[in-house]
Amino acid sequence: MGKWMAAVLAAGKGTRMKSRHPKVLHRVGGVPMVERVLAAADKAGVTEAAVIVGFGADEVQAALGDRVTYVLQAEQLGTGHALQLARDALAPADFVLVVCGDTPLLRAETLRELVAAHAADGAAATVLTTRPADPTGYGRIVRGADGRVVRIVEEKDADDATKRITEVNTGTYCFRAAALWDQLARIGCDNAQGEYYLTDVIGLLVAAGAPVAGVVCADAQETLGVNSRAQLAVAEKVARERKLAALMADGVTIVDPQTTYVDETVEVGADTVLEPGTILRGATVVGRDCVIGPATELADTTVADGAHIHRTYAHECRIGACTQIGPYVHLRPGTVLADRVKVGNFVEVKNSVVGDGSKLPHLSYIGDTDMGAHVNIGCGTITVNYNGKIKQRTTVCDGAFVGCNSNLVAPVTIGAEAYIGAGSTVTKDVPARALAVGRAKTLVKEGWVTDDTYKK
């Protein structure tokens, strides 16, 4: 079959984005556009790639890591110039799949079909084309009388008749490598933009008698090239609808898809219900039979089966099975809740482990704490973890009962099944099964109120 490699064009600044960052790193469905393109190529079976970087090269390399080869295009002289520079990196390839880093909606299936069509046709090049509602801005596909692709004309170089062509270049192509390198060496920059156009290779191949094929992608949305923030928003909407459709197909209930946002990378188990206003980001994984939302944002958080999470913001947390969280809860990084934990309204938990069945029902701050199982934390309890210089830990052992409005001043340990009287400020360790009361005694002065008390 011959060896395939992908070339990903990602050196452009993306001037119309008006951004400090390279265009291809702008995210769609939570994933940088160029990463989506790479993933699609990979899934289509083209697993080795050279990425051509230029503007913000360091940033792109930091985002993608060492799974690809990089080629530096220091000056962005055009898509053809970019590919010329990648010749050495692509030397092992018999066939090259070229994709632009700014087409984030391309599906793996489409690339797989394109690769298969190219292999079957035996053409020197196969262009993925489409017919968008509005072809403005794209290169136009000129076909000959026999229906084969003859050349591609960029919008800026097109006369009125050519502009009326509705079939456009998606920027995605397959090439027989030898034919590509032959013709790529011959392209010039005598055009409206003074750039070396990759698209000129098509006309040169045809002129040299090498056949070029065109495969039409029926869904024009899929090949959207993102050049502006407005197009980025269109891509985001399409990616989001696709992700939600995939989740629903897998058995997730989404009460209101219009107000539900789920990143590409997120997994959700069957029979889980996503209520309106749910936002799931990054490496979040939600189990089965959960209810998430309304108005809940989970980022890089795992949730085990059967959890109910209402009006909550959790990031970098692990939430156990059958937990009940919310409303109005903030779970901060490093929070690990075991199974059947209850975290109620207006509670913040940070960098803490909470054991099985423990309850933090109301108005508490629990930070840097190791809490055992079946602990009851009374309303308004605060772990005093910061002395102005360092953060210190609090330990609350299994079955302890902490009365309302207590301050546990770290470092401190509350022993198993110990009791803390309401309103206590605890500054030393409490042994197992002890009662600690750390508050002023109630003073009662009988008859303190006289008739004069209420006189002005």
CB of 227 to ligand UD1, least distance (A): 6
Interaction of residue 32 with ligand UD1, rule CB under 6 A: no
| String marking each residue 76-105 x if it binds Ca ion according to CB under 5 A | --------------------------x---
> Interface with ligand UD1 by CB under 6 A: which range of 8-16, 235-243, 262-270, 280-288?
8-16
Interacting residues with ligand UD1 between 157 and 216 (CB under 6 A): 168-171, 197-199
**Distance from C-alpha of 202 to C-alpha of 187, rounded to nearest angstrom:** 10
Judged by CB under 6 A, how many residues of this single chain contact ligand UD1? Answer: 30
Q: Which of residues 51-70 bind ligand UD1 (CB under 6 A)?
A: 52
Residue type, 55: F
Contact code string over 140-159 relative to ligand UD1, x by CB under 6 A? ------------x-x-----
Whether 81 is a known active-site residue: answer no
User: Among the options 21, 330, 362, 374, which is catalytic?
Assistant: 362
- CB closer to Ca ion, 235 vs 349: 235
Instruction: Please say whether the beta carbons of 311 and 297 come within 8 A.
Output: no
Among positions 139, 293, 355, 372, the unique one binding ligand UD1 when judged by CB under 6 A: 139
Q: Are 342 and 323 in contact (CB under 8 A)?
A: yes
The alpha carbon torsion through 262, 263, 266, 269 (nearest 10 deg) reads: 20
Check: CB of residue 426 under 8 Å from CB of residue 436: yes
Binding of Ca ion at residue 225 (CB under 5 A)?
Answer: yes
CB 140 within 8 A of CB 179: no
Query: Could you give the string, one character per residue 80-99, with x where binding to ligand UD1 holds by CB under 6 A and - elsewhere?
Result: -xx-----------------
Task: Choose between 22 and 372: whose C-beta lies nearer to ligand UD1.
Answer: 22
Residues with Cβ within 8 Å of residue 204, at least 6 apart in sequence: 183, 186, 187
Residue nearest to ligand UD1 (CB): 139
What is the side-by-side strand order in the sheet with 347-350?
261-262, 278-281, 296-299, 312-315, 329-331, 347-350, 365-367, 382-384, 407-409, 425-426
Q: Which two tokens stand for residue 364?
A: 């508490």
Which residue number, 10 or 49, has a Cβ lying nearer to ligand UD1?
A: 10
In the DSSP assignment, the letter for residue 453 is G
* 240-269 residues near ligand UD1, rule: CB under 6 A: none
Token digits for 144? 């000959």
Residue 168 binds which one of Ca ion, ligand UD1, none, with CB within 5 to 8 A depending on kind? ligand UD1
